[in-house]
Amino acid sequence: MTEPHIHASHPALIKRLKRANGHLSSVIAMLEEGQPCLAVAQQLHAVEKAIQQAKKALIQDHIDHCLEHAVSGEHGHAHDLSEFKEITKYL
């Protein structure tokens, strides 16, 4: 089992994702109420963008953290490079 990766940015990311989750619940309610498709699509786009921005912030923070470890020599360079390559597939 891997050790927990808790970064200073995680509380803000959690807050952002909870807000997106609430927004998504509102979009579901819009569909249940029969709101116009254009309005629903616009709101879905906003939810999608919010999640993309959260993902981008998470990945950038991880890359910064990974590079910090590589420079400081806290982990093996091969491990850091492997993690860096692994996370970039989500960009």
Residue 80 has pLDDT above 90, yes or no: no
10-88 CATH pick, 1.20.58.1000, 2.60.120.260, 3.40.50.1460, 3.40.50.300: 1.20.58.1000
**Residue for token digits 């990974």?**
66
Taking the model in full, what pTM does it have? Answer: 0.74
The residue ranges of every structural domain in the chain are: 10-88
Q: Model confidence at 89, in pLDDT bands (50, 70, 90)?
A: confident
* Tokens found for residue 7: 């970064």
Q: How far apart are CA 50 and CA 1, in angstroms?
A: 30
What tens digit of pLDDT does each residue of 68-78 get? 766 676 656 66
